[in-house]
Amino acid sequence: MKNYKGKTVWITGASSGIGAELARQFAEEGARVLISSHEAEELEGVRKALEPVSKEVHTVLFNLGNPDEVLATAQKVLEQFGRVDVLMNNGGISTRAEAIETTIEMDRKIMEIDYFAGVILTKALIPKMIENGYGHIGVTSSISGKFGWPLRSAYAAAKHALFGFYKSLWAENRHRGIRVTIFSPGRVRTNISYHALLKDGKEHGKMDPGLDKGIAPATCARKMIRAMKRNRKDVLIGRAELIMVWIHKYCKPLYHRMVNRVPVN
């Protein structure tokens, strides 16, 4: 695919960071862009910032943590816009807490937002995609979806689950015109660490030093769209931190030694 002109693209987690940059770059290609978040003011700010680029950017406000609202919103989107050609399941939340300190309620919340919400949207939209003979689902996972890491148990679990579901979904529907691309970013300079949940449910409220040295969201979004145009299935995005994926895969003893050096208190 050369560009997304005329396609309808729906992006969750679009009020800032990678999602906002995806919105800008898809809009520049001539797509009709639907941007979603639960943050009304920030989302409207993204839409207004894109007005000089495109008049076809529409806000769709809803909460990924409410499954009934997620399904109802998907149905409304289909009624209003007729179809969604590209679904970018990008919204998510992280943790900064040990597994033994994390309540099951928090585990469920992370899974609801990072895993189930995207699955609900996908199941609601994919029949129409199949009917149209084309649909592309982009999934923002993480290198945490490739291995475990201290203080990320719920987040890593949700990101691991994405691989199982979406790889199976693609295998079942590849002959029906359905494409799936799973992205595993490393360090990207977004607000994810600010909003990450601590053991008491409060937000972390600060930028992780590693993330502050990561790639820009615009760079990440550009690599994501380029990978989708090439119909790639499993994409690593980042810098030197990506070596951890290969260390975990091919040199388990070294991976375990590195984990042992990470402070958790």
Which residue in 9, 38, 5 sits closest to 23, CA to CA? 9
d(Cα 254, Cα 238) in Å, to the nearest integer?
A: 21
Q: Where are the alpha helices (DSSP H) in the chain?
A: 17-28, 40-49, 67-81, 104-111, 117-132, 153-173, 192-195, 209-212, 217-229, 243-250, 252-260
Catalytic residue among 115, 155, 166, 255: 155
Dihedral (C-alpha) 248, 170, 216, 192: value to the nearest 10 degrees?
-80
d(Cα 69, Cα 106) in Å, to the nearest integer?
A: 19
d(Cα 263, Cα 20) in Å, to the nearest integer?
A: 33
Which residue in 187, 189, 170 sits closest to 228, CA to CA? 170
Residue with tokens 């409410």: 66
Known active-site residue 250: no
Amino acid residing at 34: L
Contacts for 109 with CB less than 8 Å, ≥ 6 apart? 65, 93, 197
d(Cα 142, Cα 146) in Å, to the nearest integer?
A: 7
Amino acid residing at 63: N
Which residue in 155, 125, 149, 145 sits closest to 137, CA to CA? 125
Catalytic positions: 155
